[in-house]
Structure 1
Amino acid sequence: MGDKRELLILGGGLVGMTLALAAARRGMASHVVDRADPAELLAEGFDGRASAISTASWNLFTNIGLADALEQHGCPIESIAVTDGMKPGRLDFTPAKGDSTLGRMFANRQLRLALHEAAAAEPLIALHSRANVTERHRDEHGVHAVLADGTRLNAALMIAAEGRQSPTRDDAGLVVAKWDYRHRAIIAGLTHAKPHNGVAWEIFYPAGPFALLPLRDDDQGRHRSALVWTVSEEDAAGVLTLSERAFLAEVERRMHGVLGAIAADGPRSSYPLGFHHTARITGQRLALIGDAAHGIHPIAGQGLNLGLRDVGALVEVLVDGMRLGLDPGDAQLLARYERWRGLDSFSVALATDGLTRLFGIPGRLPSAIRRLGMGAIQRTPPLKRWFMDEARGVTGKLPELLQG
């Protein structure tokens, strides 16, 4: 059988690599298979995206030994400002004195670097890069995958972590509910004259949300933020081909001067926005995590955090089972993971979809009603605290790895 391990993780992105590392810290060995070339993934400028890491997700990184490598690169989110087109009725989420921040912003490249460096030093992780899977097999005795070069990888449990277009999920015949928002997220880095003071801006326009996410100042002391601008599919190509001057003018018009004069910091990119959720996240000796199980709108910055909660729950379920002498692919363990994560991920997915549709209704009356609702939340501290706890990811039953 060769090198049989507990886990066969198909997909070596942020969620898949975090799972491999978290499992290794609990004594589980894994094969990680990824089609990408690490040198390209880790190259400067490969991916301009940035991710909001919630308090719970930061606890996970701390508990698996990544905090020291990441701390210097993260920018604390001190507050979140939510506004309907910069009209009166702004909603501010600011933690009470003594509470933790609402999260940290990281460039995705820094997250990948920390994960790959930690995995390279971990003997319980076997990374198979630039590898294509030609065969997947699951039965009552175990799982295996065959790579294009003929290598056979054996394990007790197969994990689908390949993202939204997961071939492992599709191969298993798991039903997916999905729809296309017919929008694209335009991603760009900005430098700006005024400091952001750790404020994340979520400005809602009928065409889609316009988010300004705080990043650390660069080596030259320039203030930086990440832009995530949602535009309709038919407008995306035009926005991407605008000259730099014209693009910045459009961005400044939507920012209403909150960060002062701006300049571009790197190239623009985009990706399509859609919703999907699998009816089930497990099968015979199979578990889905991250975007393979659920893809949501980036409106609340919870996509990656949702996947990291999958990681924490799955590792806890497997560790508890192995203490009892159960095989990692045992159906009872997978049923527990299904119960734990199925409802939570679906609830978050529906909430983000509802927000997207609610703020997408044009017209003065819908805008007035939305601002009235935001004003009511602004004046109700317990409700505001609940929203902040949701943003921090500290509500509900938390896996041990996500606890402080």
Structure 2
Amino acid sequence: MDNPGRARILQGMERNTDILIVGGGLNGPALALALAQAGHDVTIIDALAEKVRKNAAFDGRSYALALASQRLLAAIGIWDRVEDHAQPMLEIKVSDGHAGAGPSPLVMQFDHAEIEEGPMGYMVEDRHLRRAFLEAMDEEPRIRQVDGKAVVAQEVHPGGVTVTLSDGQHLTGLLLVGCDGRSSGTAQRAGIKRTGWDYGQTALVCAIEHALPHNGVAHQFFMPPGPLAILPLTGNRSSIVWSEKRETAEAINAMNESDYLAVLRPRFGDFLGEISLAGKRYTYPLGLTLANAFCSDRVVLVGDAAHGVHPIAGQGLNAGLRDVGALVEVVTLAARRGEDIGARDVLERYQQWRRFDTATLALATDAFNRLFSNDNPLLRLGRDLGMGLVSALPQLRRGFIREAAGLTGDLPKLMQGRTI
């Protein structure tokens, strides 16, 4: 997507690519594909070898994709590759209670039939998404992939930014995007500090097989130590994201499979019949982390590199894909006007678009976790009455459904299923 303005900016400097992306998880490839399809030359760098990232074994990791995120994946050609492996989420049930005692009778229930657009979202396994992204990038001539090499340094200079790889290679572009997670080296090297705190909770993550069908219903059961999410996968399987106090979680994860299931069963209940583990088990510490800025000179942050929130609403990847849609739109429109896509004023448009939304999401998930992860009887009564009120008011209920589907706020065009 070259133009005379850009040629002047790069006069006297060799450029390998328009945009350098660090991080080949999910947000990085989504961004690379969307940018390439908009006419930009992209280089994506990941420290892991491609054969490791392409491993098709089922390891239990899955993602809840809001409807708006599904639209973005469709717009960049990924949805057709994973649709057969996607499980629609047709209902969401939210309840409060204690392990082994069952939920409170006041339950929030959201049904996709109350909105016109379709399912609120889909569950898709990590292995299918990663393989789809890697195959799509292989087929895109505007994307260059650099695997098995880490970025060890970055330098901003007039008209561009250069990264140094672990093998000594240098790559130069107009813009550097950090899609490298909560401990983003890109952010650290740019001098961007973070604000956040630890929750003292750990998420236990696994997949289970169960005897009875889930019928596309997702469950969120709040208990004093933390929430338990039961998210439907294809077949008689569900993904589990289960939060406990850190010491308890470490002890549970160290158990053998039989003892692990014995602890899970009273929390899970018997509504899906007998359960067994499918795939591996994982844990990760829970905390809130927000970058104090989403951009610097010729550097911009996307996904967890910019904002890491509690998984209580399953919005981590969805927020990252909103970043992707917003950044592609900002950069592409700037390039069409002949602007320097790495200029600070261009990147600040992206920051202005996304920062308030992500801060609001972070505060909402933080407040929700603090409200529900306790056993204060007054708070329990208040939240149960609140859930009952939401369920009783159709207009309020539909508002929550549209929020869960990602259909509210200032949506990027790609999340509306539109081209830029």
TM-score norm. by structure 2 comes to 0.93
Distance 1:204 1:59 in 2: 30
- What are the within-5 Å matches in structure 2 for residues 248-267 of structure 1? 248-267=261-280
1:5 maps to: 17
Note if 1:145 corresponds to 2:145: no
- Cα-to-partner distance string for 1:222-247 (whole Å, 9 max, x where unaligned): x1001111111111221112222222
- What are the within-5 Å matches in structure 2 for residues 244-323 of structure 1? 244-323=257-336
Q: Which amino acid aligns with 1:34?
A: D
Cα deviation for residue 176 of structure 1 reads: 0.8
- What are the within-5 Å matches in structure 2 for residues 374-385 of structure 1? 374-385=387-398
Note if 1:192 corresponds to 2:204: no
- Cα-to-partner distance string for 1:69-128 (whole Å, 9 max, x where unaligned): 010010000010000021110110112354411100011111111000000111111111
Report if the CA contact (8 A) 1:9-1:30 is conserved. yes
Distance 1:269 1:375 in 2: 34
Distance 1:3 1:301 in 2: 39
Cα deviation for residue 189 of structure 1 reads: 1.0
Unaligned runs of at least 5 residues, structure 2: 1-12, 98-102
* SS of match in other structure, 1:230: strand
Q: Which amino acid aligns with 2:186?
A: T
2:50 maps to: 38
1:50 maps to: 62
Match of 2:126 among 108, 113, 118: 108
Match of 2:247 among 207, 212, 234: 234
Q: After alignment, is 53-62 or 246-255 more displaced? A: 246-255
Unaligned runs of at least 5 residues, structure 1: 218-222
Note if 1:166 corresponds to 2:184: yes
Note if 1:64 corresponds to 2:76: yes
2:194 maps to: 176
Distance 1:109 1:137 in 2: 34
Report if the CA contact (8 A) 1:139-1:284 is conserved. no
Q: Which amino acid aligns with 2:149?
A: A
Q: After alignment, is 87-96 or 14-23 more displaced? A: 87-96
Cα deviation for residue 38 of structure 1 reads: 2.1
Q: Equivalent pairs: percent with the same residue?
A: 42
Moved over 3 A (4+): 44-47
* SS of match in other structure, 1:320: helix
Distance 2:57 2:370 in 1: 33
Distance 2:104 2:187 in 1: 44
Cα deviation for residue 3 of structure 1 reads: 5.1
Distance 1:337 1:300 in 2: 24
* SS of match in other structure, 1:76: strand
* SS of match in other structure, 1:184: strand
Cα deviation for residue 343 of structure 1 reads: 0.4
Note if 1:24 corresponds to 2:36: yes
Report if the CA contact (8 A) 1:139-1:285 is conserved. no
Distance 2:19 2:81 in 1: 25
Report if the CA contact (8 A) 1:4-1:154 is conserved. yes
Note if 1:76 corresponds to 2:93: no
Note if 1:360 corresponds to 2:373: yes
Note if 1:15 corresponds to 2:27: yes
1:386 maps to: 399
Q: After alignment, is 237-246 or 338-347 more displaced? A: 237-246
Q: Which amino acid aligns with 2:177?
A: I
- Cα-to-partner distance string for 1:16-52 (whole Å, 9 max, x where unaligned): 1110011011011111111112222222447421100
- Cα-to-partner distance string for 1:199-244 (whole Å, 9 max, x where unaligned): 0100000100001010001xxxxx1001111111111221112222
Distance 2:41 2:213 in 1: 45
Cα deviation for residue 291 of structure 1 reads: 0.2
Cα deviation for residue 375 of structure 1 reads: 0.4
